[in-house]
Amino acid sequence: MVDEPRSVEPARAVETRPVGRPLDDRRLAVLRAIVQDYVGTEEPVGSKALVERHSLGVSPATVRNDMAALEEEGFIQQPHTSAGRIPTDKGYRLFVDRLAEVKPMSSPERRAIRHFLEGAVDLDDVVARTVRLLAQLTRQVAVVQYPSLTRSTVRHIELVQLTPAKVMLVLITNTGRVEQRLVDCPGAVGDTVLADLRAKLNARAGGRPLPEVPVALEDLPAAFEPAERATVSTVLATLFETLAEQNEERIMLAGTANLTRFGHDFPLTIQPVLEALEEQVVLLRLLGETADAAMTVRIGHENAYEGLNSTSVVSVGYGSGDQSVAKLGVIGPTRMDYPGTMGAVRAVARYVGQILAES
């Protein structure tokens, strides 16, 4: 699937086109102009239209030569003879790597983002607002992952007795996430044991990163009377299970209606995308491929999942403080406004991080 290299290879270009400098500045400018125009108009762009709109300082004929060169190197492509050119995945790659600047949000936009996110009342609401905001800003499909359990720490563990042998285990993390789980104990559980267990759990695990919790509690049963150890072990087992279920990482979606603006050849493009969006697993893997800190852009075939071969994914990690606890991003057609999208994604990620840090 991933047949497009992530970086440019000027070496090969030299080899096949011994004309001198293989990608001089003007050619890059032409590519940039093509990408920009195509993104704007959705139509193949020809040499004449290009010089008219971009004051390149040369004639259409010259541009044609440059275009021929760019095509030979695989950056652009003709849908049919004697139509304009459209960028290839490789062309977009070069564009985002070398030709585009992330477009910063305007300050009214930033205020609006901040204001909108600040209204949130709890974690669910933060995520819900974030995803809607992102969809609206980029006019594309937005995806936000809930802050993962892996990077969180324990704020509190609570045990609630429901029936003599049934206990509800509630785990609260520093990111505000709450997980609950029913525990069926082997026998009736005494009040004092429960209180003791609760206290010890919090004393040992409180404040710790979740992955460390099992280690910290490993020998906890030893601190109890032999008769109570079965109960303690059962509770611990359930707790560890909950921790281990990073699989159950949740994801929120918004903006699927924007898919209708996708292109002309409708059902064909949109169907696999809708299918992908329904599969949490696919989305999680998609976001999983995001480098933690830096913004990641995957263009067309660079996406491992086949159904997304004609889409690009822009994603980035976000988090309270400096380390990222989860990821978010948008999915759109390969012909999308990369600078703008990247700007929006970056800004939103930054502000969600702040909001999380504050709460």
Partner DNA sequence: CCTGGCACTCTGCCTGCCGGAGTGCCAGAT
Partner DNA sequence: ATCTGGCACTCCGGCAGGCAGAGTGCCAGG
Q: How many residues sit in the footprint of DNA (CB under 7 A)?
A: 27
Examine residue 271 and tell whether it contacts DNA (CB under 7 A).
no
Residues 133-152 that bind DNA (CB under 7 A): none
Q: 67 contacts which partner out of DNA, a copy of itself, none, CB within 5 to 8 A by kind?
A: DNA
Nearest residue (CB) to DNA, 59 versus 106: 59
Closest CA to 76 of 40, 32, 10: 32
Nearest residue (CB) to DNA, 87 versus 353: 87
Nearest residue (CB) to a copy of itself, 256 versus 354: 256
* Tokens found for residue 302: 């660079």
Smallest gap from residue 214 Cβ to a copy of itself (A): 20
Which of 2, 16, 40, 83 binds DNA (CB under 7 A)? It is: 83
Q: 26 contacts which partner out of a copy of itself, DNA, none, CB within 5 to 8 A by kind?
A: DNA
Spatial neighbors of 357 by CB under 8 A, at least 6 apart, are: 320, 321
Exposed e or buried b per residue across 103-141, where buried means at least 16 C-beta atoms within 10 angstroms of its C-beta: bebeeeeeeebeebbeebeebeebbebbbbbbbebbbbb
The residue count of the chain comes to 359
Examine residue 29 and tell whether it contacts DNA (CB under 7 A).
no
State the residues that interact with a copy of itself by CB under 8 A: 122, 155-156, 158, 160, 162, 168, 170, 172, 178, 180-182, 254-257, 259-260, 266-267, 270-271, 274-275, 277-278
Give just the sign of the alpha carbon dihedral 231, 233, 237, 243: positive
Helix, strand, coil percentages, rounded to 5, for the chain: 55, 15, 30
Examine residue 42 and tell whether it contacts DNA (CB under 7 A).
no
Residues near DNA (CB under 7 A) are 19-20, 26, 44-49, 57-62, 64-65, 67-68, 71, 78, 80-85
